[in-house]
Amino acid sequence: MKHFLGVLAILLAAAMTHAQLNQQPAVPAFHPAAPSAATKLPPLVTQKDLTPQGLIAPAQTESYKAAAKVSSILYQMPCYCYCDRSHGHSSLRSCFESTHGAYCGTCIQEALYSYRQSKKGWSAKMIRDGIIHGDYKLVDLQNVPPIN
């Protein structure tokens, strides 16, 4: 009986550990579709706002350019710095409505990834799936080409 209870305890501990390891973290907040034409979104921070604050690194400036060019795509993306929890953001676009995005490598990588993939013809859903998969982490913030 002691042997049986010992094995049972080990099996239960293994099952609980396995369940905890297989839990997927929740996907951060995002909008499932582009904003409607009637939706009034807050303005994005511009280069004129960033420069006086010394936010002039290429990754910072180019991510804000990318955000301006694909604003409706960023509206449909989650942000894996989990700013939805700490700052109440509703999507990746929210990060670029303030200087938050300039200080966060995750936001910068996701914005640049979203822009690049949209230029390749990817849909917002395809880009979002790539972000959820973690593909944005491959964006090199040391070598950011200019966005035209």
User: Is 102 inside a domain boundary?
Assistant: yes
User: Is 126 inside a domain boundary?
Assistant: yes
Written as one letter, the residue type at 101 is G
- Among 144, 36, 139, which Cα is nearest to 80's? 139
Q: How many domains does the chain have?
A: 1
Owning domain of residue 105: 43-148
User: Is 17 inside a domain boundary?
Assistant: no
**pLDDT over 50 at 55, yes or no:** yes
Sign of the dihedral through C-alpha 112, 117, 120, 123: negative
Banded model confidence at residue 24, pLDDT cuts 50, 70, 90: low
For residue 111 the two structure tokens come to 């914005």
User: Is 18 inside a domain boundary?
Assistant: no
The reported pTM is 0.83
Q: Count H helices and E strands in the chain, helices first.
A: 9, 0
CB contact at 8 A, 82 and 28: yes
